[in-house]
Amino acid sequence: MSDLPPARNGLASGWGPGRIASLAVLLAAILAPVVLGSGYQLDLLSLVLINAMFLFALDLAYGQAGLAAVGHGAFLGIGTYVVGILAVKAGWPFWAAMPIAILVCAAAGLLMGLITLRLAGHYFVIASLALAIAVGLVVSAWQDLTGGALGLGLVPRPAGVGPVSFEAPSAFYWLLLAATLLVMLVCWSLRRSNVGTRLRSIRENPRLASALGVNIVLTRLLVLVISAALAGFAGAFQSTYLGFITPSVLASNVGFYALMALIIGGQRSFVGAVIGAAFFVLVPVLLQFSSALSPVFFGLALVVVILLAPDGVWGRLRALGRWVATRTRAARGGSSARLEPGQERSLP
Amino acid sequence: MELLAQQMANGIVLGSIYGLLAICLVLIFGVLDIPQFALGAMAMLGGYVVFLLGPIVGYWVSLLAAMVAIGALGAVVQRLVFAPLRKAADVTVFVAAFGLVLIFQGLALVIFGPDPRQVPPSISGSLVIGGVHIAYHRLVIVGVVLAVFLALQWVLRSTRAGRVIRAVGQSTTGAQVVGIPTGRVAFAVMILGSALAGLAGGLLAPISQAMPLAGDSLTINAFIVIILAGMGSIGGALVAAYIVGLVESLGATYLSQDFSQLYSILLMLIVLLVKPSGLFGKKVSRV
Amino acid sequence: MTEALTLRDVDRRFGGLKAVDSVSMTVSEGEIFGIIGPNGAGKTTLFNLISGNVSTMSGAIELYGRRIERMPVHRRARLGLGRTFQTSQLFAGVTVHENLEIAEVSSRRGVGGWLGSPTARRTVEAERVDLEAWDLADKGERLAGELTLFEQQRLALAMTLAAGARVLLLDEPSGGLVESEVHQLMELIRGIRDRGVTVLVIDHKMRLMMQLCDRIMVMALGAVITTGDPTEIAADARVRELYFGRAPVRGVERNERTGGPDPADAHTWRAGPTS
Ligand SMILES: Nc1ncnc2c1ncn2[C@@H]1O[C@H](COP(=O)(O)OP(=O)(O)OP(=O)(O)O)[C@@H](O)[C@H]1O
Ligand SMILES: [Mg+2]
């Protein structure tokens, strides 16, 4: 892991390829409803946004804190069900239910962290997966509350705020976009804060980090709780997006698929997470002719990326961008190879 | 009383299958330190081998074929995926193994479709003792697993190959220092473990039928078993596997069918909290 | 004089091996305290016990009068215990600047230590002064892993101080350095001590230790042989015996080829129980 460049991507520094790409993606995202209209394609984009939110959250745990949170799908699912249950069974409006979803997920994250964080590597993976499976089982079996395998519906769209209504697909899409940007902002500030610095030290050299006074378990616990809360936030939106909720949102492979998407897109980068989310949503659509083929494709893509591009698609694109930049500078008889402050570093 | 005996018998059969996979994991995960999460999916493929070849060459030959085929698959996977990831972070290897699960399950789905396929048992009919029905094939499962366990135990304890494997399990660098070709040993152990996964799948197929998702719960339970047992001994793994099988089967009967997977998970969590090194483990594995 | 660090009957076994065997010692504030002994004597293990990387089996460790032997590593660090490691002592994949930033952030306490940002309190000026003091002024944006060994060594020292160390454990700081660098290192360590930091240092370079240390403790096979000032140590019969190998201590044998090492250059001596 430590062979990856540190988490200074486009947003943090200069007009590197990261920042340009981020702005281009943002502009395209804002204009999408205008271009695409409000049909199936916008629906898919909305799904990409929800997944991107979840991947931002997951990246905190995986990319930043180095936790192989294969059970993280549970938090997305819990958030989805909390809003679903409150809306359907108690008639709560979305805006009241969503904070509850965040709180419940934060508490669940705390619980999971307390149980699993003291365990070493592989044990953490298995324990978090087992907890996620347990949550899925309980939700399926607790039929009075969750509707069991039959599902739960209908979860309404969020109520309008003032004159703005979120019923129209494009308005709902813009709401999702705003939520996604909010999650991004939270993750970004966290990465820039002392917590982010501590996380970096733990990733780079845990022994030295603790010798300098970093409390590894507490730092990871904090990040796990925040990450779970954000996943719950994404789940709340998934709830109203789906409208009808089934236990499949808590399937044990949700977390695995998310990790896959994140690794393929490129961890520790917002653009990478968005690429991963788009990949995850769009591949099955593109492979529509045989639904069984998309897992095979996903699996192959994952293994190939892990073997050949551990920093993901976006990591490779950035490396390519840097390569082109150095070539053009060299062609202009450019300056020394020394790095300027904040400049992207080339990969080994 | 009859119900209890019946469920105990079922639990032991279930535990035998989990035990066989857990033994594979002790070899691949315990010795090689590879979290082979695709072992269940490989067992599932073994089931399909028996489904395809059984009617033509008979059950036993097809079971052997399953071991050979899945062993070969293990060799391919080791060469192409796990060996290149030797120096990668734990997490990376784990996720790569998950990629394999997707590939294997997806392929099974593409080739055989989602519907379960019937696989005839080794011996049809069942033994009846005092009202308890036990299919002969189930007895075969218990017997084969015990035989495999004893054979492996002998190999690990009393042969040179076994000593070499245990040396690698203790410390890869240590083994390298004394001149053991650890890469070749890893290759051999991976083939052996995979072949045993193929065996497990072939044994299980007649009772659970061959289907693409058959491996999921096997993998989870095998990992639960070795966490329960604590890494290191195949005997401990087998005992823990019987416990998990019994807990699952009795829980499903007397508590609730819906939660059958939950009981073993709870058991594992309790053990992890109380004794992180597992029931029979010595080394405490903590950050 | 204030006692900075005190050990009482500290024990650690690894299986049957007594790596640290009932060690007691007291280090005063502002002292440079040397620890020498053959390979495998238990010196690094002793540091690990003090810093918390290895847990004690019995005995007491006090830092400024406070019992620390049950505390996790990071809490001891926060109480002012700093250390360097024999190997991989830096965050090799990030810049020198970021290494110092991490060290500084890791010592911050309270809510600000979590919520604030690394640049919020540390001024560019302070950073510059720091880098210049360690002769790393033009290296700020280099990856720490790309520095020379001596530069890495200096950065490691700078980081322990940035993290607020009051008692510093240095494990073979001269390892891999050339003669002139060893000399500079010695000056740096003296400078650190002059800032009021207590220094414990393990090293095989006897000349360095003799010149640098106020007191030296000699260990062999986990136990303390003797403690004294450099002249006493140089004259001590048991120490000479140990280094000349006249009366081999279990497994410690004289180097037949060269007729035994020069006690003044014990770093050339490599015949411990483990090697
Ligand atoms: N984690 C461990 N597990 C088992 N044995 C250990 C461990 N750490 C150290 N030892 C053993 O304890 C003894 C003391 O080792 P230590 O590293 O403390 O010696 P040292 O005095 O620092 O030697 P050197 O001068 O070579 O650095 C050695 O025999 C070593 O093999
Ligand atoms: Mg040492």
DSSP string, B147-194: HHHHHHHHHHHHSHHHHHHHHHHH-HHHHHHTT--HHHHHHHHHHHHH
Q: What is the pLDDT of residue C251?
A: 40
What's the average model confidence in pLDDT over B112-134?
Answer: 84
Coil, strand or helix at B55: helix
Burial B256-281 (b: 16+ CB within 10 A, else e): eebbbbbbbbebbbebbeeebbbbbb
Do C156 and C172 reside in the same domain of the chain?
Answer: no
| A6, C38, C89, C159 from C93: Cα distances, Å | 8, 33, 12, 15
Who wins on pLDDT, A308 or C89?
Answer: A308
Atom of ligand 1 nearest to the CA of C272: 26
Q: In the numeric block, which tokens belong to residue B181?
A: 């070709």
Q: In the numeric block, which tokens belong to residue B260?
A: 């059958």
Query: Residue B176: pLDDT band by 50, 70, 90 thresholds?
Result: confident
C-alpha angle C17/C19/C23, rounded to 5°?
130
Do C100 and C159 reside in the same domain of the chain?
Answer: yes
Residue A333 has pLDDT above 80, yes or no: no
Q: In the numeric block, which tokens belong to residue A68?
A: 């192989």
Residue B87 has pLDDT above 50, yes or no: yes
Residue A137 to residue A148: CA distance in whole angstroms: 10
Looking at chain B, list the stretches that DSSP marks H as alpha helix, in order from N- to C-terminal side.
Answer: 2-25, 39-57, 59-77, 90-112, 136-158, 160-170, 172-177, 182-208, 215-229, 234-254, 260-274
Coil, strand or helix at B210: strand
Mean pLDDT estimate for chain C = 83
Query: Residue B281: pLDDT band by 50, 70, 90 thresholds?
Result: low
Whether B258 and A141 have beta carbons less than 8 Å apart is answered as yes
Interface check for A206 against chain C (CB to CB < 8 A): the answer is: no
Interface check for C111 against chain A (CB to CB < 8 A): the answer is: no
Sequence length of chain A is 348
State residue C215 phi and psi, 5-degree precision: -140, 155
Tell me, yes or no, whether C187 lies in a domain.
no
State the ipTM, two decimals: 0.86
Q: What is the pLDDT of residue A341?
A: 42
Residue C39 alpha carbon to ligand 2 centre in Å: 7
Asked whether at least 3 C-beta pairs link C and A within 8 Å, the reply is yes
Tell me, yes or no, whether C188 lies in a domain.
no
Sequential DSSP letters for chain C: --EEEEEEEEEEEETTEEEEEEEEEEEETT-EEEEE-STTSSHHHHHHHHHTSS--SEEEEEETTEE-TTS-HHHHHHTTEEE--SS--S-TTSBHHHHHHHHHHHT--HHHHHHS-HHHHS-HHHHHHHHHHTT-GGGTTSBGGGS-HHHHHHHHHHHHHHTT-SEEEEESTTTT--HHHHHHHHHHHHHHHHTT-EEEEE-S-HHHHHHH-SEEEEEETTEEEEEE-HHHHHH-HHHHHHHHTSS--TT----TTTTS--GGGGGG----TT-
DSSP state of B132: E
Interface check for C71 against chain A (CB to CB < 8 A): the answer is: no
Do C206 and C158 reside in the same domain of the chain?
Answer: no
pLDDT over 90, % of chain A = 44
Cross-chain residue pair A125–B91, CB shorter than 8 Å = yes
Cβ within 8 Å of residue A34, ≥6 positions away: none
Cross-chain residue pair A212–C114, CB shorter than 8 Å = no
Question: Scanning every residue of chain A, which has its alpha carbon at the shortest distance from the alpha carbon of B110?
Answer: A292
Residue B169 has pLDDT above 70, yes or no: yes
Looking at B87-135, list the stretches that DSSP marks H as alpha helix, in order from N- to C-terminal side.
Answer: 90-112
Do C63 and C174 reside in the same domain of the chain?
Answer: yes
Atom of ligand 1 nearest to the CA of C40: 19
- Domain of C131, in residue numbers: 88-165
Query: Which residue, by CA, sits nearest to atom 6 of ligand 1?
Result: C14
Q: Which of A63-77, B156-170, C241-255 has the highest mean pLDDT?
A: A63-77
Number of folded domains that form chain C: 2
Residue from the list A133, A298, A300 with its beta carbon closest to the beta carbon of B261: A133
Residue C254 has pLDDT above 50, yes or no: no
Do C160 and C171 reside in the same domain of the chain?
Answer: no
Q: What's the pTM value of the predicted model, to 2 decimals? A: 0.86
Range with the lowest mean pLDDT among A299-313, B44-58, C130-144? Answer: C130-144
Residue from the list A200, A339, A340 with its beta carbon closest to the beta carbon of C102: A200
For residue C220, give the nearest of C194, C242, C204 by alpha carbon. C242
Tell me, yes or no, whether C145 lies in a domain.
yes
Cross-chain residue pair B99–A260, CB shorter than 8 Å = yes
Residue B119 has pLDDT above 90, yes or no: no
Q: Could you say which residues from 190 to 229 on chain C have a Cβ atom under 8 Å away from some Cβ of chain A?
A: none
Atom of ligand 1 nearest to the CA of C15: 4
Residue B52 to residue B119: CA distance in whole angstroms: 9
Residue range C146-188, pLDDT digits in tens = 899 999 999 999 999 988 899 999 999 998 899 899 999 999 9
The identity of residue A217, as a single letter, is V
Query: Which residue, by CA, sits nearest to atom 29 of ligand 1?
Result: C40
Which residues in chain B have Cβ-Cβ distances shorter than 8 Å to A252? 216, 220
Residue C275 to residue C268: CA distance in whole angstroms: 13
What region does B106 belong to: left with phi over 0, alpha with psi -120 to 50, or beta? alpha
Sequence length of chain B is 287
What region does B22 belong to: left with phi over 0, alpha with psi -120 to 50, or beta? alpha
Residue ranges around ligand 1 (CB below 6 Å): C 14, 17, 19, 37, 39-45, 273-274
Cross-chain residue pair B94–A310, CB shorter than 8 Å = no
Q: What is the pLDDT of residue B132?
A: 82
Which residues in chain A have Cβ-Cβ distances shorter than 8 Å to C68? none
Do C170 and C245 reside in the same domain of the chain?
Answer: yes
Residue C94 alpha carbon to ligand 2 centre in Å: 26
Last residue of a domain, one of C143, C165, C187: C165
Of all ligands present, the nearest one to the C-alpha of C42 is 1
Tell me, yes or no, whether C118 lies in a domain.
yes
Q: Which of A125-129, A152-156, C180-184 has the highest mean pLDDT?
A: C180-184
Asked whether at least 3 C-beta pairs link A and B within 8 Å, the reply is yes
Mean pLDDT estimate for chain A = 85
Query: Which residue, by CA, sits nearest to atom 17 of ligand 1?
Result: C44
Residue B18 has pLDDT above 50, yes or no: yes
Query: Residue A118: pLDDT band by 50, 70, 90 thresholds?
Result: confident
Residue range A204-220, pLDDT digits in tens = 888 999 999 999 999 99
Q: Which of A150-159, A261-270, C108-117 has the highest mean pLDDT?
A: A261-270
DSSP state of A245: B
Q: What is the pLDDT of residue C266?
A: 43
Residue A32 has pLDDT above 80, yes or no: yes
Do C75 and C205 reside in the same domain of the chain?
Answer: yes
Cross-chain residue pair A201–C73, CB shorter than 8 Å = no
Q: For chain B, list the domains and their CATH numbers.
A: 2-274 (1.10.3470)
CA B57 to chain centre: 25
Tokens 């299980």 belong to residue:
B204
Do C170 and C126 reside in the same domain of the chain?
Answer: no
The identity of residue B72, as a single letter, is A
Q: How many CB pairs under 8 A join A and B?
A: 137
Residue B99 to residue A261: CA distance in whole angstroms: 11
Residue C70 has pLDDT above 90, yes or no: yes
Do C71 and C174 reside in the same domain of the chain?
Answer: yes
Interface check for A339 against chain C (CB to CB < 8 A): the answer is: yes
Range with the lowest mean pLDDT among A149-163, A185-199, A238-252? Answer: A149-163
What's the average model confidence in pLDDT over B254-278?
Answer: 81
Q: What is the pLDDT of residue B190?
A: 94
Mean pLDDT estimate for chain B = 87
For residue C69, give the nearest of C87, C81, C84 by alpha carbon. C81
Q: Where are the domains of chain A?
A: 6-331
- Touching chains, C (3+ CB pairs < 8 A): A
CATH fold for domain A6-331: ABC transporter involved in vitamin B12 uptake, BtuC (1.10.3470)
Cross-chain residue pair C74–A215, CB shorter than 8 Å = yes
Residue A30 to residue A174: CA distance in whole angstroms: 7
Who wins on pLDDT, A32 or C124?
Answer: A32
Tell me, yes or no, whether C201 lies in a domain.
yes
Whether C211 and C52 have beta carbons less than 8 Å apart is answered as no
Cross-chain residue pair A296–B29, CB shorter than 8 Å = no
Tokens 């597992």 belong to residue:
B278
Residue C63 to residue A99: CA distance in whole angstroms: 46
Which residues in chain A have Cβ-Cβ distances shorter than 8 Å to C91? 200-201, 204-205, 208
Q: What is the pLDDT of residue A347?
A: 35
Who wins on pLDDT, A269 or A179?
Answer: A179
CATH of the domain at C66: 3.40.50.300
A116: distance to nearest CA of chain B, Å? 9
Q: What is the pLDDT of residue C121?
A: 55
Tell me, yes or no, whether C129 lies in a domain.
yes
Q: What is the pLDDT of residue A5?
A: 42
Tell me, yes or no, whether C186 lies in a domain.
no
Do C101 and C206 reside in the same domain of the chain?
Answer: no
Do C120 and C211 reside in the same domain of the chain?
Answer: no
- Touching chains, B (3+ CB pairs < 8 A): A
Query: Which residue, by CA, sits nearest to atom 4 of ligand 1?
Result: C14
What's the average model confidence in pLDDT over B6-33?
Answer: 89
Cross-chain residue pair A208–C73, CB shorter than 8 Å = no
Do C68 and C146 reside in the same domain of the chain?
Answer: no
Cross-chain residue pair A2–C90, CB shorter than 8 Å = no
Q: In the numeric block, which tokens belong to residue B37?
A: 């999460």
